[in-house]
Amino acid sequence: MQFTNIKRRKIHEDVAEQIENQIIDGSLKEGSFLPSERELMGFFNVGRPAVREAILLLQRNGFILVGSSGRPMVCKPSASNVIDQLSSAAKFLLSFEEGERSFQDARRLFESAIAKNAAIIASEKDIASLKLALHENEKSIGNLKEFERTDVNFHLAIATIGNNSVFKALHTAIAEWLSMQRKVSLRIEGVEKKAFDYHKQIYEAIASKNPEKAWITMDNHLSDIMKEFKKGKSINNE
């Protein structure tokens, strides 16, 4: 005979779970307001602190939005809500060399797959947007701060192809989490030009609908960035 431990829960977690379940099953519609605090206290037979903590938890998880009126309104969680909850853990992991390397590997695999997918599904409009991002990136060579911005925008333009909100949210989060890698790498002489050359090749692969070339070129680009980052870190530590 085998038993599992009983998980102790706080009252506000039970309240939040019941409200969350009603949002998921459609009983509480998107755009509608939650009942007042007093009504919720009566429904659940709990005190005001439990209701307020439940609302804060639901807000943090993206199920409700509290506007200027102060009334909690039902909304749909976005991919960004999920990513936001990972941010603290991600920043902690990035404080260790092993965690940093793991995120770099994850970025390389993720963005290589995104580039391959973009080469398969990109529309003429997507390719035109990517070409504009590439042009802005080229113009910024020699201006480090501006190159960092246009570098992020070029990669984001690829992640945006297909309009997958999870891809966009993941890319934005990874770009933020690994921003130090970008800053250190781009300070090495010649890296801006090298990065742009890779971007041009990636653009050409996507525009010509060559998924394998898009994958390989992005993989080579990010592998090279990882090497430049290691070089930059060693220079800074001298």
Structure confidence at residue 138 (pLDDT): 96
Categorize the per-residue pLDDT at 96 as very low, low, confident or very high, splitting at 50, 70 and 90.
low
* 206 shares its domain with 134: yes
Per the structure block, which two tokens stand in for 149? 């911005």
Contact assessment for residue 49 and residue 37, using Cβ atoms and an 8 Å cutoff: no
Angle of CA points 88, 95, 190, to nearest 5°: 115
The CATH number of the domain holding residue 223 is: 1.20.120.530
Give the chain's radius of gyration (CA, Å). Answer: 23
Question: Which pLDDT score is estimated for 6?
Answer: 46
Confidence band for 64, pLDDT divided at 50, 70 and 90: confident
Structural domain for 30, as ranges? 11-74
Final residue of a domain: which of 74, 104, 127?
Answer: 74
Residue 2 included in any domain: no
pLDDT score of 42 more than 80: yes
* 33 & 133 share domain: no
Tokens representing 230 are 């290691």
Alpha helices by DSSP H, listed for 122-208, are 124-139, 144-160, 165-177, 179-186, 191-207
Does some domain include residue 160? yes
Confidence of residue 61 (pLDDT cuts 50, 70, 90): confident
